[in-house]
Amino acid sequence: MDYTALYPFTVQCSRCDRAWSFSEDELQSVDLTCQDPDCGYTFNVYEGLKTGLKTVDGIFGNTFLANGMHNLMIDVKIGFTTYFKLPQSTMKVYDVMLIPVRDSFKAGVVDITTDGFLIYTSLEESGDTTLFGKTTPLYVIVKSKIIDYDLPWLHLLQYSLDQFIQKNYLTCILLSEITFENFLDTMLRHRYINIGLDEDTVGRILVSTNLPNKVNPLFYNMYGIKLSDSPYWKKWEKKVLKWRNDIAHGAKTSATEDEARFAYETIIDSMFYLIEGIDNYLRANGEPRGLFYKI
């Protein structure tokens, strides 16, 4: 079984929608040029990451936490099931693609676990009945998580997207905002510890500070950037944060697809506005690598 290590994000051109795997080298270059030779559009790497994260209707789905891809050509018998065993290192399966190589037939998967999954095959409607029982090659591609992350906000963002795809719009809004809150505390805690504060002091600061003050004076003091200077400030404070509070206290009991998409995209915009500011701060202070180099 062939294995390819993946970075957990994709970069996507907003002009032609061409997407490709994100790499550390691209983060260091900051400005990217679309890989489609007919496009050639140049854009900021943070914009490319945001566009990739906002894509929820792509043919392959949005599996931005997948960091490993396994692929293997196997033989299946049309009309029968075949068990596909995954490596022991598999922690979560995000996407399975099945590609018939020679014959025309239907294939799908059920019972997906970290151990493996069951592949079922059947004839096409009005298909060639002589193919039933025939052994034929099938190309299997699995995107999965092989290495875990120690950043909970990444998992929360994936959960938020999952809820949007499943049309649980109220939960999507709530998880989007929780993602942002976890991101803020993670980044502030990291900086406070680096300048020598102890865990108890950091905990008391974060617990006693409201969210608008975290994204403005605290972030400005630690990283030289404020969300209130961005075009996303009012979208977040007046809508997403309010919706979150209304949901938590029972005042908002339903949400639309547009509201959920607005919340999810606003959180991505807000986080990457701050991430870009953090990276600029790190580079200006002798740390050339960006925020994502350890992921």
What pLDDT digit, counting tens, does each position of 257-285 carry?
A: 999 999 999 999 999 999 999 988 888 88
At residue 111 the predicted structure's pLDDT band, cuts being 50, 70 and 90, is very high
Q: For the chain, which residues make up each domain, given as ranges?
A: 2-54, 69-145, 152-289
In this predicted structure, the answer to whether residue 21 has a pLDDT above a threshold of 90 is: no
What pLDDT digit, counting tens, does each position of 64-88 carry?
A: 677 788 899 999 999 999 999 999 9
Mean of all residue pLDDT scores within the chain? 89
In this predicted structure, the answer to whether residue 129 has a pLDDT above a threshold of 60 is: yes
pLDDT of 285 reads: 83
pLDDT of 293 reads: 47
pLDDT of 236 reads: 97
pLDDT of 60 reads: 44
pLDDT of 26 reads: 67
d(CA 236, CA 271): 11
With b meaning 16 or more CB within 10 Å and e meaning fewer, what string describes 175-212?
Answer: bbbbbbbbbbbbbbbebbeeeeeeeeebeebbeeeebe
293 or 47: whose pLDDT is higher? 47
In this predicted structure, the answer to whether residue 172 has a pLDDT above a threshold of 60 is: yes
What pLDDT digit, counting tens, does each position of 196-254 carry?
A: 999 999 999 999 999 999 999 999 999 999 999 999 999 999 999 999 999 999 999 99
Map the chain to HEC letters.
CEEEECCCCEEECCCCCCEEECCHHHHHHCEEECCCCCCCCEEEHHHHHHHHHHCCCCCCCCCCCCCEEEEEEEEEECCCEEEEECCCCCCEEEEEEEEECCCCCEEEEECCCCCEEEEEEECCCCCCHHHCCCEEEEEEEEEEECCCCCCHHHHHHHHHHHHHHCCCHHHHHHHHHHHHHHHHHHHHHHHHHHCCCCHHHHHHHHHHCCHHHHHHHHHHHHHCCCHHHCCCHHHHHHHHHHHHHHHHCCCCCCCCHHHHHHHHHHHHHHHHHHHHHHHHHHHHCCCCCCHHHHC
Map 247-278 to HEC letters.
HHCCCCCCCCHHHHHHHHHHHHHHHHHHHHHH
In this predicted structure, the answer to whether residue 295 has a pLDDT above a threshold of 60 is: no
